[in-house]
Amino acid sequence: MKTKNLYLPLILLGLITWNCSKTMVTNNTPASQVSLKSALTTGVQNLSAAVSSIKASAGYQVVSGPTDLVTKSAVMSPWDTVTNSILLADVAGIYDYKAKSYKRGHMSLMRYFNKTKDTTVMVVRLPEEKVAGSKKMLNYSPSDTLLANNYQITISDYQLKFGHGYGRSYQLASSTKIKGVEAGTLKIQSSKNRTTGYNFSSEYDFPNGFITKCLNIPGDTAVSTYSISDGTKTLYEEKYTAIRTDSVSRHREKEFSLTIGDVVIVRQLGHGQASLDSAKVYVSGVLQLKSKVEIVDDSDNKPGDDSDKCITNHKRELKITFDDGTTKTLTELTGAVITNIRDLFTAMRQAYFGTAIVDWIAWDVYTKK
């Protein structure tokens, strides 16, 4: 009996302690109750740190390098209906930068890359000092013999197909090392023809774990996507989808979304696709009822700009009204981050210097066949 009396207070004490613990856990603010302003501030801080890390990496030198090297191209007759192709097997080998002069008729010319070894992939090696634009690479100096070929591009996939009736399709996968240090991997797919227009996708995986992707698909349903992620976590993603009823009408926005960390802003066509709904804001998947987002398009947009109205390419701005009634634009909230993101994706949409070198050598090999 005494034993039972002794257990009873212990049981009551345990129940009280459990209830207190339960109350303490319940009173903690869960992720779903974090304010929009707090969540957006955290998301911008993480995004800013990521962009700073990307800009400081060796991979950023590859992405943001010069784009002034003019790629050679083959001359085709307008009556040529044959589809031509240059594949990895056609250009496989190690190509070292070693300028040599040679004669073609009465002309004295320079050959800058020479194949030094057969391999199953394509490897291009040149001095880092020459990766500053075509003027430096194509300007030979006797002192160049003292430079080390310490900038290496390894191409594991290469497909270039072209023809008057076919258009052009391009695919490349490569990795870069600068002075023996990994600088990331690049994947590009693009195509251009009269039927589908210009399709482009690009992905760069930086050695510090960040991944940047951009996608542009034209047509009656046009899609543009820009994203930055850290492994599986999305730090930034902007997606714009526009539709048109025929090939001559202008695109109309179907859906727009912007993700920064745990904050997602979405605007879609309303019922019956008559007009756009108001933008909705979510924090960790929870709809914010007291917050408001206004999407302001650039008044300078011209016809043809309506298939890619994105913040990333300077085409729109967001005005955000928080729960407390204060209002800020996205540019004010993010500062230099959005500008840096714009620069990054502008570079990703342009031709890379390293890619231009690979294409340059590929055309040279092709035209000698």
Confidence of residue 364 (pLDDT cuts 50, 70, 90): confident
Mean pLDDT, the chain, whole residue set: 83
Instruction: Report d(CA 256, CA 37) in Å as an integer.
Output: 21
Backbone dihedral region of 119: left (phi > 0), alpha (psi from -120 to 50 degrees) or beta?
beta
- pLDDT for residue 75 is more than 70: no
- pLDDT for residue 340 is more than 60: yes
Q: 271: Cβ–Cβ under 8 A, 6 or more apart, which residues?
A: none
- Determine the pLDDT at residue 111: 82
Residue where the block lists tokens 């034993």: 3
Q: Cβ(202)–Cβ(184) under 8 Å?
A: no
What's the CA angle centered on 193, arms 205 and 225, to 5 degrees?
35
- Determine the pLDDT at residue 76: 54
- Determine the pLDDT at residue 25: 34
Rounded average pLDDT over 24-41: 67
One-letter identity of residue 169: S
Rounded average pLDDT over 28-39: 73
R_g of the chain computed on alpha carbons: 28
Rounded average pLDDT over 198-226: 93
- pLDDT for residue 3 is more than 50: no
Instruction: Report d(CA 184, CA 62) in Å as an integer.
Output: 9
- Determine the pLDDT at residue 71: 62
Confidence of residue 294 (pLDDT cuts 50, 70, 90): very high
Residue where the block lists tokens 């979510």: 282
Burial of residue 231 (CB within 10 Å: 0-12, 13-18, 19+) is exposed
Select from 292, 262, 290 the least CA-distant residue to 277. Answer: 292
Burial of residue 1 (CB within 10 Å: 0-12, 13-18, 19+) is exposed
Between 338 and 245, the higher pLDDT residue: 338
- pLDDT for residue 280 is more than 90: yes
